[in-house]
Structure 1
């Protein structure tokens, strides 16, 4: 298989590449992906939720499951920590036996009824006799539910699913719209999601549901039950054959969700909206053309490209408002593009962001602007940012290489002085071992966990700062950070050639390059041996020179 070209938009008549994508790749094992519908870099990730907890429930779905609890509108793609799963809905024609509402409204499904590709997901809900179909625009989840035969249909909105709920609201506006919000706490300490649901049929609002929380039998044999209200709500539609639903999201407020809904969808025409989403994916995927290869290889390639262009996610409304890392709502200025969220930078700075700089220069410019706004709004560049929250997860200050690499690609338009200021602030933060790194030229293993990885990652980021400072006439900073960038050599063992941990100035004994331990971040000595990519010549010399 040969990569033939890179294209910035392919024009009309492109191949139906959306059908080359298999969204179930990564949903088994420990892949943590979701199979549902989304748009390129979309705010909405509309997908079935089959797994409520556990590490392999990070994406909300696992390929081995056989029960669907509903369809929620936000999902994470391939992460190692759970979050999202906001605004879960479920169409019901009957209820199962169960103590909780989630056990009552869930449905069995058969894998053989699932259908999907980029921009579309469908499944038959066996307990309810309903074919569920999903597609999206960037900010709107689009649902169609077709009943096997006309039946009474109840619409469930579960605001408790799945993170800890801090506060919430929901109310009808007329007989064809529900609006509300939820603020939750999990990996993102304070996540705001607002929604507006529009229906193509009238409903009767049933309000909040309750669950039995205690059952006692008194001495006289009578039964006593206690019931508590839960944040699960119901709307009744009577007898229907089909229900269409549009759900607009916003991270700012309810009015933002309504504006997003009205701006991105007009009329209940599922097939038209599905075709539009599929066309967006055709345009996205054709930016890299390939020749040859088997069908399996083409599927693998285009599914990987699909996954690579589902994140980061648009996080600003159609009117340009966004929630900043100070958790306040801000307004983008004219021409500033979109604001983004979900920056998993330790995972993405090496390969994903250079790819996006190649095939998505305009989005990359907007992402750099986003990173600098996060610095201005919240006081620091993102490390692992989620829904405007700093999660404190992972290592390095890898916004730096993303910004520097973007400029190397010829992408520009931001304030270089602010960018350099933000980079230096990150490097001089004096936390997570940076104090020892700045003083000693490495991080001792008894001072900070993952000391080898952090020393290496900081050194690479410092090399990027040195290059950026040099390009912008700051020789003082270029010299300081070029010196720091050589710090990795202080952990290069002269006999083994590996980069190893030190404690109290001495090499930690018993080093095994195959062992994954607390000196490295999700890796071992062999894998981190090749980390100093900014100093290949220095690494060559340590490993024995040209010989």
Structure 2
């Protein structure tokens, strides 16, 4: 792609460290402006999901072109591979994996046409070429070549301005479309005068009730035409065509303010921030603000491609979260009511599962004031909505992703000394999040882990809850809350309960057995957008403990080596988020982001230095598909910022940053306090990627980590680089350490062998991973006894177990065993998908029934193929009825079969069709549903019953997965009476 051509501004700065520690002087040296190194098109291709339009730092408005109406790669509204622009809307999401926004679409054109042209018929959309497209921070320009209209866009935080240059004074139209993109709940356009419109748009997509009000002012008078149909329609009056009266063919300007509060707020936002300013004034101010914003980190290096990557990444970390508050301090809270404050700025779009890892830690360094505002925002949301958000969007709890990662953001800010919020209220809020009973937390608290059968993504949720709990423990410890410190430091060790010492991976526990057959490459419902390779190292709070349970430093290093050299393929479910693979390290998705730095913890920092250089230079490029996965509201970019500087926050909640290796010869962080922290890499080159030695403020630095205080106090970190691994920071006393020293837990026992569903009998063996622990068990309502050796059961039984060491006990776990009718067996002519095996070949007759959540492991799944299962009753006898359960969860590509047939046979195995039922499987249904298909047979001498369920095959046209996706059949129990 051509580099973005940028006019103007040369900024005078050249930073030299003065003799006074941590202070700088600025001498004059003309240099290219930093905004010139921002390429907003990076991430607009591939699966980056970014947008190229105009926005301000953390601003409310994102004024950008829309080239795509739906689909996963249309989440931001724009994709670089597209050729048509539908218009320019005023809200967009950056790098998310779910679509929303695209509010208040304006499109200049040369005739009235209320149709958008998405079906290929003539409409108001227009063809464009990237050759005639430019973007820079706060500015966007494009030529609509099919209508020969030049469009330029620029913004303030809450308002924006369009400039249209038509080719002729005749036929100058602009369409305002409030029905664009997602489902509209309510919308209205009011004509205030022949130069002013106002209105609102309420919609439902990812956010269940998003409300945007607008006020629009034009530079030229217009006449207007509303969309109307031959019959009265709810859509009428939600699109309007403006025809401008412009005989001199001057540029047409449209200024627009938006608000989540009301139309008056939108007008005040527009009048306050734009008023009588010209387009050029607004553009210049936007550029100046962005230039100042980007100067928070100044890079000096001769590699321009790296500079483009760096400053675009820095830009991407600064466009979310988004301001959600009018100029008068009013905002719409999580209770949908209007609140007002001038004590802090209120924000939305917190992609916390992603951004707690590096984006928010970056803000604690270069955005201290905003970090305080972010925390105050979360506390306000807690008071308004009753709980801290996980992923909030426009006053809506989306319920998206896992964990409660507002907790580490708040705890990390508190522990790093960020001020300006009520610490007691903050602790109340973080503790409240952890004490809920939803999303698996009830079983997590009771068992010390989440069982597979209780909650989907059980392994990932257990691991992330444990980390979040540790940050609560650290906050409690600092505040002198001893009871909470003990409670949450114990909960922080729950990760050990999902570690299988035999496989060496974090693994699901299904009825207290290990979920299997186990394949670490398999993407299944036990993990969140990942597999066992990609989640088994997520224990940032106790890396020392993780190393210990995995067998020590040598075995841990071997595991890391195997991770990065494994085959770069996954099995099981297709997961589009798993991208940027180096072995099984998936840089395109967040659970992997800390892994390259773990070599420092086993005395091998040179391996971290190799890998971070590889990731920085291979997985970030100055081109549209230059980001290896969803940008995720700044997290992918924050990894680049930290890692190119030479350090990374492996464990937010500590004050440590783990050192990798710098990518630039010199980088200076200009902190809000006035201090500066400078990183210099002497002798740096493509070959010289290893650290030979380091000094911090002139003193030898022999350890492979920095502290937050060292950075914030200012100073100079100097690396001497070399072309081969060295022994720098390889001694035990110089490596980082995160560990949980207090309140050690006793791990709960697990079933090493024994079938949950059996016919004659099953032998049960128990084991526990805690050293020197004793196991106790009881059967049904009997007394607990010490476990000494395996034992057999031969009937349906309830087993309870716990482990004990001294006076400390583990949780008591309960496992139910089911005895299957010994006369029944089932054979499968089609093969189920292993990730949805429901316990194995006998799952369809084991008596264990699934719920509406397919992820809990009791459903057997067949992808793109029919189910053909034959039940053998061992001898001919009366068959009264057959019942088969099927699941429908269309959003997860699970559809009812189109036809279910029952064939019967006697001992001779000569099957004949007995009953069949057709099902309208393509009937759209937004909620999961179970259907029980019951057939009346009433035939004697039936030994074999064959079930054939016909798969829908290709997904219907209305489905997100069309045209390439195949449907699943999920089947549960076959019951014969």
- Shorter-normalised TM-score: what interval? over 0.9
| Distance in 2 (alpha carbons) for counterparts of 1:146 and 1:410 | 51
Within 5 A, what are the aligned runs for 1:374-453? 374-453=381-460
| Distance in 1 (alpha carbons) for counterparts of 2:323 and 2:93 | 13
Give CA deviations for 1:348-388 in whole Å, capped at 9, x if unaligned. Answer: 10011101111111011000000000000000101000001
Within 5 A, what are the aligned runs for 1:53-452? 53-94=70-111, 104-206=123-225, 208-211=226-229, 229=236, 231-239=238-246, 240-332=249-341, 334=342, 336-452=343-459
Secondary structure of the 2:236 match is strand
Partner of 1:480: 487
Q: Which has the higher helix share?
A: 1
Q: CA shift at 1:495, angstroms? A: 2.7
| Distance in 1 (alpha carbons) for counterparts of 2:432 and 2:498 | 25
RMSD of equivalent CA atoms: 2.4
Give CA deviations for 1:287-321 in whole Å, capped at 9, x if unaligned. Answer: 11222252111111111111111000000111001
1:32 corresponds, among 49, 67, 83, to 49
Q: Is the CA contact 1:213–1:227 (under 8 Å) kept in the aligned structure 2?
A: no
* 1:473 to 1:289, Cα distance in 2 relative to 1, 3 A: same
Q: CA shift at 1:266, angstroms? A: 2.9
Q: Is the CA contact 1:7–1:286 (under 8 Å) kept in the aligned structure 2?
A: no
Q: CA shift at 1:95, angstroms? A: 5.3
| Distance in 1 (alpha carbons) for counterparts of 2:444 and 2:302 | 47
Secondary structure of the 1:122 match is strand
| Distance in 2 (alpha carbons) for counterparts of 1:229 and 1:180 | 14
Q: TM-score scaled to structure 1, two decimals?
A: 0.92
Q: CA shift at 1:496, angstroms? A: 3.0
Secondary structure of the 2:165 match is strand
Within 5 A, what are the aligned runs for 1:40-55? 40-55=57-72
* 1:533 to 1:429, Cα distance in 2 relative to 1, 3 A: same
| Distance in 1 (alpha carbons) for counterparts of 2:75 and 2:477 | 42
Q: Is the CA contact 2:470–2:492 (under 8 Å) kept in the aligned structure 1?
A: yes
| Distance in 2 (alpha carbons) for counterparts of 1:35 and 1:508 | 44
Partner of 2:937: none
Unaligned runs of 5+ in 1: 215-225
Q: Is the CA contact 1:21–1:117 (under 8 Å) kept in the aligned structure 2?
A: yes
| Distance in 1 (alpha carbons) for counterparts of 2:93 and 2:302 | 30
Partner of 2:906: none
| Distance in 1 (alpha carbons) for counterparts of 2:437 and 2:86 | 45
Higher RCO (C-alpha under 8 Å, 6+ residues apart)? 1
* 1:97 to 1:278, Cα distance in 2 relative to 1, 3 A: closer
Moved more, 310-319 or 521-530: 521-530
| Distance in 2 (alpha carbons) for counterparts of 1:379 and 1:269 | 44
Q: How many residues align?
A: 530
Q: Is the CA contact 1:14–1:282 (under 8 Å) kept in the aligned structure 2?
A: no
| Distance in 2 (alpha carbons) for counterparts of 1:412 and 1:163 | 40
Unaligned runs of 5+ in 2: 1-14, 555-977
Secondary structure of the 1:173 match is strand
* 1:123 to 1:4, Cα distance in 2 relative to 1, 3 A: farther
| Distance in 2 (alpha carbons) for counterparts of 1:98 and 1:479 | 62
| Distance in 1 (alpha carbons) for counterparts of 2:301 and 2:209 | 48
Moved more, 360-369 or 522-531: 522-531
* 1:11 to 1:60, Cα distance in 2 relative to 1, 3 A: farther
Moved more, 462-471 or 268-277: 268-277
